[in-house]
Structure 1
Amino acid sequence: MTGLFVPPGQGDDTSAAALQITFKVTGDRSRHTTVYETVVAPGFDVGAHLHHNLEECFYILDGEIEVFAFDPVEADGQHWSGWESADGRRPVRAGAGSCVFVPPGCPHAFRNNADTPARLFQTASPAPFHELYLKAMSEALATNPNISPEELARLREAHDIHQLTPLKYPG
């Protein structure tokens, strides 16, 4: 049995809209967790969503994102930045060193409102489900950069991503 060492700048690169993703550990190496680094472009908003079977962890390496991970009292369906939980939690600005854990079934989202990219270290468990989605989305956007919101929603739903607000990315 051998472990895996991935040097800086190495991994399986893909991109999806305004996300540059470098997979460090994928489902072909781990039954448990997909590990990847993500560069989030300014203006990107993943949209509020939830997963029934997937848990995620986000660790901000550089930059800043706005993020939430809670059940909102009222979800308007347009934008999540004004949402609030029953105990008063609201979306927060998360900078370098911040960590966000999202259990299955928990609504969550992140966006980059800054003028500079944000860099995240992410995990998704179990492997390989989220990596399959990210690769499918990357391929779909490469094939059709003007993919309709409905097509994108269908792709996400097929990968256990249940949208509450739309994904938005800079053109």
Structure 2
Amino acid sequence: MADERFVLLAPGAARPGRIPLPPAFRVKAATEDTGGRFSLLEVVLGRDIPRHTHHRADEGVYVLDGVLEIEFDDAVHLAPRGSFVLLPHGVPHALRRASDPPPRVLQISSPGGWELYARWLGALPGGPVRGGAHRAHRRAAGSREDQSDRGALRHRLRGDTTGRADTRGLASRHHG
């Protein structure tokens, strides 16, 4: 039934999840809400996102506030409030803060999965291990080299009925 997938969020609200997210991430539409077609997050870019490549997912970013610096392929661009950028899969890119306060953006990933990275960040006691966050972002975004781990991460994040993810083994497995 169509109304089972209807979502209406009040200003500032986010989709509930089993794992509390870091305050910088607000899931507006989770991958499971859209049948895997996309995910939509509101993100305050508190830290720069290093250069990486999505092998499967296209990423769209709309700047709500502040200025976002985008490194795409080998060029650097500034995106002020109201700007939109489409980052097609297969091309290296990085996102950086170019304003204070940091930029606030809407981020859409198609197909979905990026919120798994945000949930992974919130699932680890004390935050992610060095190097692990970048691998989790690649995995959530559909990197070929990490596809075998993606299902295991999703299972761990969804499979716990207590409201807390089973993160045993993630720190040692993803230590970089």
Compute the TM-score of the two structures, normalised by the length of structure 1: 0.70
Instruction: Extract unaligned runs of 5+ from structure 1.
Output: 71-83, 85-89, 163-171
Identity, % of aligned positions: 26
Higher strand share: 1
**Structure-1 residue corresponding to 2:89:** 104
RMSD, aligned α-carbons: 2.1
- Identify the match of residue 152 of structure 1 among 121, 133, 138: 133
**Structure-2 residue corresponding to 1:27:** 31
Higher helix share: 2
Question: How far, CA to CA, are the matches of 1:130 and 1:118 in structure 2?
Answer: 18
Indicate yes or no: 2:40 matched with 1:58. no
Distance of aligned partners of 1:28 and 1:152 in 2 relative to their CA distance in 1, 3 Å threshold: closer
Size of the aligned set, in residue pairs, is: 135
**Structure-1 residue corresponding to 2:151:** none
Paired residue secondary structure (2:129)? coil
**Structure-1 residue corresponding to 2:114:** 130
4+ residue segments displaced more than 6 Å = none
Instruction: Extract unaligned runs of 5+ from structure 2.
Output: 145-176
Contact 1:56-1:123 within 8 A present in 2 as well: yes
Distance of aligned partners of 1:94 and 1:157 in 2 relative to their CA distance in 1, 3 Å threshold: closer
**Structure-2 residue corresponding to 1:119:** 104
Quote how far apart the aligned CAs of 1:8 are.
0.9
